[in-house]
Structure 1
Amino acid sequence: MRLQAGEDVKEGFTRMRLAVGCAMWSHRSWQGRFLAHPLPPNERLRAYASWCDAVEGNTTFYATPTRETVATWARQTGEDFRFLAKLPKIITHDRCLTDVDEALGGFLDAIEPLGTRAHAVWIQLPGAFGPVDVPLLARFLSRLPDGHRYAVEVRHPEFFASPRAASLLEAALRTAGAEWIPFDTTAFFASPPTSDAERDAWSKKPRVPSRSVALTDRPIVRYLGRDDTEQTVAGWRPWVDVVVGWLREGRSPTMFIHTPDNADAPGLARRFHDDVRARLPELDALPEPIPAQPLTLF
């Protein structure tokens, strides 16, 4: 298994840690609520990192950032912060994991300034990538360099409907020490959309069954709720049980909370953490948020 030494180990003992985060670290609707406004772009990640201790690196899917840009991300976050860095689409979608050495090398070099903050390299595969393609994935994983964790997200329905297909993928991932990232959209698709944001997500998000099997000691979950907070919370209750179980097994999971509009995502991520910590008081607390508005004397 490819591990980064020292993560989640402090003063000689293993920490009980659940990291939580969102799909991005800046959103217009967060200004003045979760993040101060106005706030320069190069300070927004620092403010976000006081709310959540993980973030999805979706922007790297569209273009590999420069090392200088990545270095600014590292400077705004502590060493325990977790980035889930998504491989560029030229590797996963355009070239389908073939003839990608140059692009892969450039990406891994670019994220090097993150150090241990690069919690995992996220390999999100297109919906057309099915069980027949697992040998291709296995070859790709076998050639990846040590020094990073790797996590794979698949969307082909057969991986969720066929136990044989799931076992085939699990075997390839276990051999490489890689995790399977579930994107749980079952709560979202439980009832018809009621807002513009939900209707937009309805046509774009994958509709696959939930899956809660961890392959490594660092499971990663992406969860999509609704714009209605109580529906979102009700939908994640099974995940509270799963995450509590993982923590008791000695695993250190990361949970990403999404809603169609993501307007309240940082607060919801912290609420999920609170729900788990209510069951496990020994769980490490999240950082205290930086106030979004100046403190007053009255």
Structure 2
Amino acid sequence: MRLHVGCAMWTHRSWQGRLLPHPLPAQERLRHYAGWCDAVEGNTTFYATPSRDTSASWAAQTDPDFRFVVKLPKVVTHERRLTEVNVPMRAFLDAVEPLGPRVHALWVQLPGSFGPADVPTLGRFLRRLSGTHRCAVEVRHPAFFTDPGSARELETTLAAVDAEWIPFDTTAFFTDPPTSDAERDAWTKKPRLPLRTVALTDRPIVRYLGRDDPERTIAGWQRWLDITVDWLREGRSPTVFIHTPDNADAPTLARRFHDEVRARVPGLAPLPEPIPVAPTTLF
């Protein structure tokens, strides 16, 4: 039983000098982030497959129990839609191999056009990975959330290979109109889908989007607090990623979420202590 928490990235301009030292060499940024959180979304791998040396550097900067949820390249999920992807998948799996057990799941984020008719394709793709890699799938086609038959078919396909369904909860974000530039930008880009709170495996993964106001973010995650506590008591080990439109306070909010869960599940292991940020000096 373990709760991992994290953010959408491990470096952000607004964290520099406040949460993380500044300046900080690129090869040290993940190490300092890992003092705040014990998981991270691997969004960068969607745009470019890293080199093995880069993955080895990520491994060297993190403890063995740190977890990456690494997103498959867009050529696999969005351009080729999981067909004829042997070459890019081999390159990707070879590239992330140095991370070893730190790879919590391969994150299969599918485009909104990938609908119920495409589920057999998803099933074939997942079966090829099921013997060696754990997968977690994020779908954005509305039918999976509004049509019970489509949802059941997807759940059956995922359960057959012990794959998880990742919900991206934006319901709290879309409750009220945006009030900042970052919120206005997110308003046009983030998916607006019904809430889903069902776990299929013993390691559920949740992506939660709050608001730029930390108190509103905290108020919006209360349902996930209850669900996460229940999952832990059932023996599951969830991973929860906390997003806000500007992500300025995402690491502190992720720790706050972990603290609130741990207050209700005292046996939960604590997070690591952040590496201190040295005060700025003139000399």
- Which bin holds the TM-score, normalised by the shorter protein? over 0.9
1:69 aligns with 2:41: no
Question: What corresponds to 1:125 in structure 2?
Answer: 110
Report how many residues are paired: 281
Task: Give the counterpart of 1:276 among 244, 261, 265.
Answer: 261
1:173 aligns with 2:158: yes
Q: What SS is found at the alignment partner of 2:221?
A: helix
Task: Give the counterpart of 1:207 among 181, 187, 192.
Answer: 192
Aligned-partner Cα distance in 1 for 2:152–2:269: 34
Aligned-partner Cα distance in 2 for 1:165–1:82: 31
Question: What corresponds to 1:86 in structure 2?
Answer: 71
Task: Give the counterpart of 2:26 among 30, 41, 55.
Answer: 41
Q: Which amino acid aligns with 1:128?
A: S
Structural mapping, 1:147-296, within 5 Å: 147-294=132-279
Q: Which amino acid aligns with 1:245?
A: D
Question: What corresponds to 2:122 in structure 1?
Answer: 137
Structural mapping, 1:13-32, within 5 Å: 16-32=1-17
Question: What corresponds to 2:86 in structure 1?
Answer: 101
Q: Which amino acid aligns with 1:242?
A: I
Q: Which amino acid aligns with 1:55?
A: V
Normalized against structure 2, the TM-score is what?
A: 0.98
Aligned-partner Cα distance in 1 for 2:273–2:228: 22
Aligned-partner Cα distance in 2 for 1:281–1:17: 12
Q: Please report how far the alpha carbon of residue 293 of structure 1 lies from its aligned counterpart in structure 2 after TM superposition.
A: 2.3
Aligned-partner Cα distance in 1 for 2:131–2:102: 16
Structure 1 residues 193-224: Cα deviation after superposition (integer angstroms, max 9, x where no partner): 00000000000000001111111111000000
**Residues 130 and 161 of structure 2 are in contact (CA less than 8 Å); yes or no, is this contact kept in structure 1?**
no
Structure 1 residues 63-102: Cα deviation after superposition (integer angstroms, max 9, x where no partner): 1000000000000000000000000000000000010001
Please give the root-mean-square deviation of Cα atoms over the aligned residues, in Å. 1.1
Q: What SS is found at the alignment partner of 2:18?
A: coil
Q: Return structure 1 stretches of 4+ with deviation > 6 angstroms.
A: none
Structure 1 residues 216-271: Cα deviation after superposition (integer angstroms, max 9, x where no partner): 11100000000011110000000000000000011000000000000000000000
**Residues 140 and 193 of structure 2 are in contact (CA less than 8 Å); yes or no, is this contact kept in structure 1?**
yes
Aligned-partner Cα distance in 2 for 1:292–1:220: 30
Structure 1 residues 109-161: Cα deviation after superposition (integer angstroms, max 9, x where no partner): 10000010001000000000011111111111111252321000000011001
Q: Which amino acid aligns with 1:91?
A: V
Structure 2 residues without counterparts, runs of 5 or longer: none
Normalized against structure 1, the TM-score is what?
A: 0.93
Aligned-partner Cα distance in 2 for 1:150–1:102: 18
Q: Which amino acid aligns with 2:71?
A: K
Q: What SS is found at the alignment partner of 2:6?
A: strand
Aligned-partner Cα distance in 1 for 2:58–2:280: 27
